[in-house]
Amino acid sequence: MKASIQQLQVVNSFAQLPSAFYTRVPPQPLTQPRLLHANPDVAQLLGLSKAALTQDDFLQVMSGAQPLPGGDTLAAVYSGHQFGVWAGQLGDGRAHLLGEIVGPAGHWELQLKGSGRTPYSRMGDGRAVLRSSVREYLASEAMVGLGIPTTRALALVVSDDPVYRETVETAAIVARVSPSFVRFGSFEHWSSSPDNLRALLDYVIDHFYPECRIIEDGAPATPNSAALRFVRSVTIKTAQLLANWQTVGFCHGVMNTDNMSILGLTIDYGPYGFMDGFQANHVCNHSDHQGRYAWNAQPSVAHWNLYRLASSLLGLDIDAEALKAELAHFEPAFLQTYQGNLCKKMGLLHWQPDDASLVDDWWALLHGQRADFTLSFRELANAPQHAQAFIDSFNDQAAASAWLDRYMLRLQQEGRPEPERIAQMNSANPLYILRNHLAEAAIQAAAKGDSGEIDTLLKLLRHPYVEQPGYEAYSARAPEWACQLEVSCSS
């Protein structure tokens, strides 16, 4: 383990791309920054010791005051479709890539978010508020606990610098890491510039999808056949990501193409939400008036976004029909993961065709009741033993009873020992989930300089399936007041 941030091995692969891909620009450091939290799990990925996180040079880098030793600081350009409409050039308007750390088991780009204005800030101030920074910090680590691909959070730095949103808030920086921050919108940006488009494609394939270059039928993949295989891989990864989101009740909130990772990671946590009461058309982003990014719309939106990614490659003279054929991998990949997840969540061994209607009727039962997404699955494990309590928990008891009969018949078909089924369900249905009101409590404490709630939440969310005595309040249903919490894009 390296002693300090000074000793990390740093390379700068992204900065080797043509200079049009970014602007070298230093962060604007926060005034009197304080390290509110550092994440030893991510530090370990980078090869940083726990002690390194308490050293002053760590805070200097995380607050934007000093560059990462050996790193090329830059802001990247990208474009995107926002809410279905072409938005043109966007880019890192409040983020700085500090460099790429060669960790013990892989390379990690380190990026600051909320680190000041860049040439891509447009009308923005380049800042992120404490509230949204705590939310990103917690959510990305919650995803890790759930086994869902995501960018990671290394450090959270706070200050008293004022930031003007609906009210005056304070500025914070999240230091986050990812193998890459390239987005669908990075490709869209170069759709009319074949040379740059090809350079970006080569960079992404060489670093993250090298299998796309493997020889087929005795001949090396041609550039265009590699591109098609790349589209297939991104399609499959994205479909799997969406299935994972759906089955934990996660709503991203702003699935614009500039917020879609080319690696199939959850990225850019804004007005996201893990659903409390299940509503199929739940919209977590209070600015999304049309409900474009509702929970039940997310998979088709992801597919639409993949079409935008694939369309951007048409400039490379890639056959449109061949691209379409690759995008058709979305549905089978989505269904495979979705059904596999639901098998585990429902305690089934193998998915059967009739299970689709069993699951759909389960969703309908939950929707009719606005039943708690997370706890309903968790409690389902005990429903066969406690049938009456299960039925009584629904307003439509006739429907609940009829559904439970079908479910129990289905379990009988598999004839699996009950303890085995229950254990499997408890290892697939989280007890702890990052509910909005829990994040809110951590934000309130953080605003007073207290990171204790962040510690508690990280501890629970790292192992969300394992019941921890003494933490009953963290697995309880959301209180009434929490339903009033609104999350907007202004972060």
Minimum distance between the CB of residue 61 and Mg ion, rounded to whole angstroms?
22
Task: Verify binding: residue 72, Mg ion, rule CB under 5 A.
Answer: no
Helix (H, G, I), strand (E, B) or coil at 33: coil
Write out the two tokens for 247.
């089955």
Beta carbon nearer to Mg ion, 268 or 276: 268
- Contact range with Mg ion by CB under 5 A, out of 3-11, 130-138, 228-236, 251-259: 251-259
Site map for ligand AMP, 374-403, x if CB under 6 A? Answer: ------------------------------
Task: Verify binding: residue 303, ligand AMP, rule CB under 6 A.
Answer: no
Write out the two tokens for 146.
């759930």
Are 118 and 25 spatial neighbours (Cβ–Cβ below 8 Å)? yes
As beta bridge partners, residue 101 has 10, 108
DSSP 349: S
Phi-psi region of 8 (alpha: psi -120 to 50; beta: other; left: phi over 0): beta
- Contact range with ligand AMP by CB under 6 A, out of 57-65, 125-133, 174-182, 224-232: 125-133
Burial classification of residue 346, based on how many CB atoms lie within 10 Å of its CB (0-12 exposed, 13-18 middle, 19 or more buried): buried
- Contact range with ligand AMP by CB under 6 A, out of 120-128, 213-221, 301-309, 366-374: 120-128
Residue of 240, 246, 259, 491 interacting with Mg ion (CB under 5 A): 259
Residue of 6, 121, 287, 456 interacting with ligand AMP (CB under 6 A): 121
What whole-number distance in Å separates Cα of residue 406 and Cα of residue 341?
Answer: 20
Helix (H, G, I), strand (E, B) or coil at 201: helix
Closest by Cα among 89, 83, 134 to 113: 134
Task: Verify binding: residue 268, Mg ion, rule CB under 5 A.
Answer: yes
Are 373 and 366 spatial neighbours (Cβ–Cβ below 8 Å)? yes
- Sole residue written with tokens 């091995």: 9
Are 153 and 451 spatial neighbours (Cβ–Cβ below 8 Å)? no
- Which of the residues 72, 92, 258, 268 is marked catalytic? 258
Considering CB distances under 5 to 8 angstroms, the limit depending on partner class, which of ligand AMP, Mg ion, none binds residue 33? Answer: none
Beta carbon nearer to ligand AMP, 100 or 136: 136
- Angle of CA points 136, 138, 143, to nearest 5°: 95
Beta carbon nearer to ligand AMP, 258 or 372: 258
Task: Verify binding: residue 162, ligand AMP, rule CB under 6 A.
Answer: no
Beta carbon nearer to Mg ion, 131 or 345: 131
Considering CB distances under 5 to 8 angstroms, the limit depending on partner class, which of ligand AMP, Mg ion, none binds residue 53? Answer: none
Residues of this chain, 82-111, that bind ligand AMP according to CB under 6 A = 90-94
Closest by Cα among 137, 123, 215, 101 to 458: 137
| φ, ψ at 157 (rounded to 5°) | -115, 135
Minimum distance between the CB of residue 428 and ligand AMP, rounded to whole angstroms?
31
- AA identity, residue 89: Q
Are 461 and 432 spatial neighbours (Cβ–Cβ below 8 Å)? yes
Residue of 57, 125, 202, 355 interacting with ligand AMP (CB under 6 A): 125
Beta carbon nearer to Mg ion, 88 or 194: 88
Q: Which residue is nearest to ligand AMP (CB)?
A: 124
- Sole residue written with tokens 């089934």: 348
Task: Verify binding: residue 254, ligand AMP, rule CB under 6 A.
Answer: yes
Beta carbon nearer to ligand AMP, 255 or 323: 255
Task: Verify binding: residue 355, ligand AMP, rule CB under 6 A.
Answer: no
Answer yes or no: 258 catalytic: yes
Residue of 79, 115, 256, 298 interacting with ligand AMP (CB under 6 A): 256
What whole-number distance in Å separates Cα of residue 200 and Cα of residue 202?
Answer: 5
Beta carbon nearer to Mg ion, 58 or 120: 120
Task: For helices 397-414 and 355-369, give the axis angle rounded to 10 degrees.
Answer: 150
Task: Verify binding: residue 135, ligand AMP, rule CB under 6 A.
Answer: no
Positions marked catalytic: 258
- Residues near ligand AMP, by CB under 6 A: 90-94, 120-121, 124-127, 254, 256, 258-259, 268, 270
Residues that bind Mg ion (CB under 5 A): 259, 268
